[in-house]
Structure 1
Amino acid sequence: MVKIKICGLRRYQDIDYVNELKVDYAGFVFAKSTRRVDLRLAESLVARLDKCIKKVGVFVNQSKEFIKEVCSALGLDVIQLHGDENPDDVAEYAAWGVEVWKAVRVKDQDVLMYAGKYPVDGILLDAAVHGIYGGTGQTFDWNLLDGVSFSKKIILAGGLNPQNVCLAIAKIKPYAVDVSSGVETNGFKDYYKMKEFVERVRNCEKHTR
């Protein structure tokens, strides 16, 4: 079954929502963003999180020292690197005992081919928007993935919402889908949109078996 990640959690009610919906991954953004959390807030949010839900820290061009501090303090399950890291930059993280996902901003097939060089557990595919590292709410051309295969987990992001997620799953067959703005209203997580997204993913999975 396709895993579900809800990203950009920053309120106690957000945690209550994901706990009730029993998603697979909860994402906490530490990079510059309207959804950014500091370590103190993240610690209190994680303390409220269901232990069955894996914790993902999202970072953009931040120091390894800072990432290690957050990873240790929160007991992260996944480090998601959304910056300008090259394959050599990410090799060290594998020794930390956590999964590593590298986000790539898809603009052409060359980007996809290069993504395979990263020594990571998962490749997160996001839309390429100039000057923005993620969270744009825009999709990319899924047809670029035609004929491209990866030996790593594929996490699909970029403009997903309850209306298009089943089509995305049917076409790309990712390991997981990642949503943030697609389940928000006025910049905040919306329980009903989250619930609809989760139900759509689980129901479309049943129909495509």
Structure 2
Amino acid sequence: MTKIKICGIKRIEDIQFVNKYKPQYIGFVFAESKRRVSVDQVRYLKQGLDPQIKTVGVFVNESIDKIVEVLAECKLNCIQVHGDETPQYIDTLKGVLGSQPAGKGVEIWKAVRVKDEKSIAMLKSYVVDAFLLDAFVEGSYGGAGKVFDWKLANLAKSCGRIFVAGGLNADNVSNAVEASRPYGVDVSSGVETEGCKDESKIRCFMDKVKGVDNCEVL
């Protein structure tokens, strides 16, 4: 079954939507973004979250100390680093998390902006729990609403679990899943209307993903 991550959660209404439709993951953005949330916001929102839904904290070129601080306050399940983090940074982060009570069992995901096959080749340098493949857009670390060649994700699967992101919505997610058969898909702006999560778009997006999975079973 293709996992679904809905990123950019920031309102209590968003929590109500995800509790109703049950994506496997939701993302809280701690990096500079119009969807950025504070530690206090996340702690409040998590109070009403279905505990079966896993939480992902999204960071861009953040200090490891800050990530550990946020993790301790918010009790996240996964850390997604979405910037220029090196393999050495990941190794250090992994070691620090392993030594912290709040870091036990926390997954580390590395986001990679995909431009061509060379972008995929760099994945081999990282040892992480999952990769999130986003579209390469000059000057942007993500959230630009652009797609990449989904077939490139097939090349990445030998490196581990793959999430496909970048410009996904209910109109194209079926094609993305069929083209790459990823571990999961990630969506943010594709389930929004005027900058806010839209219940009908979330439902439709998830139905399209489940539809591809059901066809595969048949």
Compute the TM-score of the two structures, normalised by the length of structure 2: 0.92
The change in CA–CA distance for 1:12 and 1:91 in structure 2 (over 3 A counts) is same
Partners in 1 of 2:216 and 2:184 — Cα distance?
15
What is the 5 A alignment of 1:43-122?
43-94=43-94, 95=98, 96-97=103-104, 98-122=106-130
Q: Match for 2:58: what amino acid?
A: V
Instruction: Give how far 1:148 is off.
Output: 4.8
Contact 2:151–2:180 under 8 Å retained in 1 = no
- The answer for unaligned runs of 5 or more in structure 1 is none
Instruction: Give how far 1:149 is off.
Output: 3.8
Instruction: Give how far 1:117 is off.
Output: 1.4
Instruction: Give how far 1:208 is off.
Output: 1.7
Aligned identity (percent) is 47
Over the residues paired in the alignment, what is the CA RMSD in angstroms?
1.2
What is the 5 A alignment of 1:14-29?
14-29=14-29
- The answer for unaligned runs of 5 or more in structure 2 is none
Partners in 2 of 1:195 and 1:85 — Cα distance?
34
Contact 2:153–2:182 under 8 Å retained in 1 = no
Q: Give the aligned length.
A: 209
Partners in 1 of 2:14 and 2:159 — Cα distance?
33
Matched, 1:178 2:186: yes
2:6 is aligned to: 6
Q: Which runs of 4+ in 1 moved over 3 A?
A: 143-149
Partners in 1 of 2:26 and 2:157 — Cα distance?
26
Partners in 1 of 2:69 and 2:189 — Cα distance?
27
Output one character per residue of 1:79-127: Cα deviation in whole Å (capped at 9) or x when no partner: 0000111111111333232100000000011110111211101010000
